Structure 1
Amino acid sequence: MFSYYAVKFLSRILCLLPHGIAMALGAVLARLAWIFVPAKRRTLAREQIMRCLDVSEPEAERIARESSLRFGPMLMEVLRFPVMKPRMRDYVTITGAMDEVRAAIAGGRGAIFATSHSGNWELMGGAFACAGLPIVGVAKRQSSAGMDRFINEYRTLVGMHVTYRTGVREMFRMIDEGWIIGLISDQDPSLRDGVVIDFFGQRTNAFTGAAAIARRCGVPIFPVFIHREPNGHHILTVQPGIMVEKTDDRAADVKRVTQIVSRRIEAWIRTYPEEWFWLHDRWKSLREEQT
């Protein structure tokens, strides 16, 4: 548990600093970290950007670098959750279909927030919780027990309930109780767990959780995204809800809505390409299938 206490100590130090200084420190650390990103991973990011966005190699290199550098300030913000929570509105403005979200909750059922690894998705969950929404973050268990304990403790600190991806029954129960389940929907799952759709004009394996759960529970999916303005303030956008039309063909229903959600994610990435996690090998499972 050394890692847990070390990060907690670092968090306490950073909470004593002015916000601007902490963000500047994060930017410096990110620039140092970029030097150690493996050349193979940089090449992967650059090639994905060129293929998806149809840009030149130098522009792809710039986007890949900016995408990586954002993790410095993002980390600082997570570590500063204890001092940011009481003044969350100073850091994040929520816009979009919030009335639609509150109406869904008032109707006695929950909803699903589908998002991507774009912007500070950890801060997004905290902002929603601080705005009074009953939100559940679906977490991936970290390989380090100490880091897993720390990140889930801080998610809980800002008002989120946390469950692991394996807690499907708990998700169903909580949706029935009026909770909102937050799902990151842009990763490449195993072929067994995903469905092949179109993403940036390419065959792509996609996570079906949002569509499958929404269909079973009869709740809307709200695509949600967060963007960091040049001054460091965040704009959190809630897009209009998507209902899953329930036919006799479950697989077709899930695939159709997964495609809709993925198109919303793609459109957001095209708007703010520097904020997406291009270092992730998004087409790995389909590439391995062909070998």
Structure 2
Amino acid sequence: MTYYLVRFLSRLVCLLPGRLCDALGRMLALCLWPFLPAKRKKLAREQVAMCLGTDAKESERIAKESAVRFGPMLFEVLRFPVIVRRMADYVEIEGAEHLRTMLEKGKGAVIATAHTGNWELMGGALSQAGFPIIGVAMRQHDAAMDRFINEYRCLVGMHITYKDDVREMFRMMKKGWIVGLLADQDTNRRDGVVLDFFGQPTNCVPGPAAMARSAGIGVIPGYITRKKDGTHKIILHAPIDVPRTKDKRSDIRTAGQAVNRILEQHIREHPEEWFWLHDRWKSMHE
């Protein structure tokens, strides 16, 4: 039942103008903001202040905007059936040449991205621009929502695989596909690598650097940001080389640290668009 209700809601939203959907999404998120747990909001404010050195008022503003943006983002996903028809007008891509050059090597590519901007839209925009994108998904607890979001990811052109199917990722990379990995959330201490992030020891996922190292290619940091006119811009950076020495762990740390530096800079430029509500340093405190 949930699946059909969300599909029905999507049909209704697709009948509305984009700007109205943005306004409705923001209004919905603003209404829900007071109901977010105080502990979670406090965490977001503290992380903003620690990373950006902002005062209490600015930290509160950034934390709130970071949460409120999920309203318009949700409505954009619901509007995928409309957006996909004019994706090139809706999303600008900067640095596409880095991706094309990488694909010419015949080994596929790895994009390290983050929970910043509308990352769901990013994969679809690259797919519609002609890039074969593998979206790596986390299985949702609600089967109906898992079905819905993956159908809409496929609608905009992505191939979806779950994050535990690493063999499929490598198999498709050999055929020239691009793996997009979200690489900015906390993981367990056993699997993660500790790197510097905003001056703090931070547990990071090794996936992007590890996959690129195995394939003998570099990692392309890439992020999406929302422009003032409501459209979006994807920024793809030059590939980060991954060393291939006898010390695999050290190689991964070297490349991962370089990716972190680029992500840091992106967050400083677009602080309201990162997911500050996530406890980025949880495993470091356990």
Given the two structures, how large is their TM-score scaled by the length of structure 2? 0.98
| Residue 255 of structure 2: aligned partner | 257
**3-state SS of 2:82 partner:** helix
Task: State how far apart, in whole Å, the 2-side matches of 1:121 and 1:224 are.
Answer: 10
Correspondence for 2:34: 35
Q: Which residue of 2 aligns with 1:50?
A: 49
Alignment match, 2:234: 236
Aligned residue pairs, count: 286
SS at match of 2:256: helix
Structure-2 residue corresponding to 1:83: 82
Percent identity reads: 56
Which residue of the partner structure matches residue 190 of structure 1?
188
Residues 111-260 of structure 1 aligned to structure 2 (within 5 Å)? 111-260=109-258
Structure 2: which amino acid aligns with 1:59?
A: E
Shift of 1:220: 2.1
What is the identity, as a one-letter code, of the residue corresponding to 1:176?
Answer: K
User: How far apart in 1 are the matches of 2:97 and 2:232?
Assistant: 20
- Aligned residue type for 2:223: F
Are 2:113 and 2:222, in contact at CA under 8 Å, matched by a contact in 1? yes
Contact 2:98–2:237 under 8 Å retained in 1? no
Looking at structure 1, the residues matched to 89 and 78 of structure 2 have their Cα atoms a distance apart, in angstroms, of 17
What is the Cα deviation at residue 225 of structure 1?
A: 0.8
Separation (CA, whole Å) in 2 of partners of 1:86 and 1:109: 30
Cα drift, residue 5 of structure 1: 1.1
**In structure 2, how many angstroms separate the alpha carbons of the residues matched to 1:32 and 1:129?**
34
| 1:107 match: secondary structure | coil
Corresponding residue for 1:70? 69
Quick check: 1:107 aligned with 2:108?
no
Write out per-residue CA displacement over residues 139-187 of structure 1, whole angstroms, 9 at most, x where no aligned residue. 0111100000000000000000000110000111111110000000100
Residue 64 (structure 2) pairs with residue 61 (structure 1): no
**Partners in 2 of 1:16 and 1:33 — Cα distance?**
24
Q: Which one of the candidate residues 257, 278, 291 is aligned to 2:276? A: 278
Q: Which runs of 4+ in 1 moved over 3 A?
A: none
Distance in 2 (CA, whole Å) between partners of 1:99 and 1:231 is 25
- Letter matched to residue 215 of structure 1: R
How many Å separate the matches in 1 of 2:2 and 2:258?
A: 40
Superposition RMSD in Å = 0.8
TM-score (norm 1): 0.97
Gaps in structure 1 of 5+ consecutive residues: none
Q: CA deviation at 1:101?
A: 1.1
1:168-216 per-residue CA deviation (whole Å, 9 max, x = no partner) reads: 0011111111000000010001111100010000010001100001001
Distance in 1 between residues matched to 2:19 and 2:45, nearest whole Å: 30
C-alpha displacement of 1:103: 2.1
Distance 1:255 1:145 in 2: 36
Secondary structure of the structure 2 residue equivalent to 1:223? strand
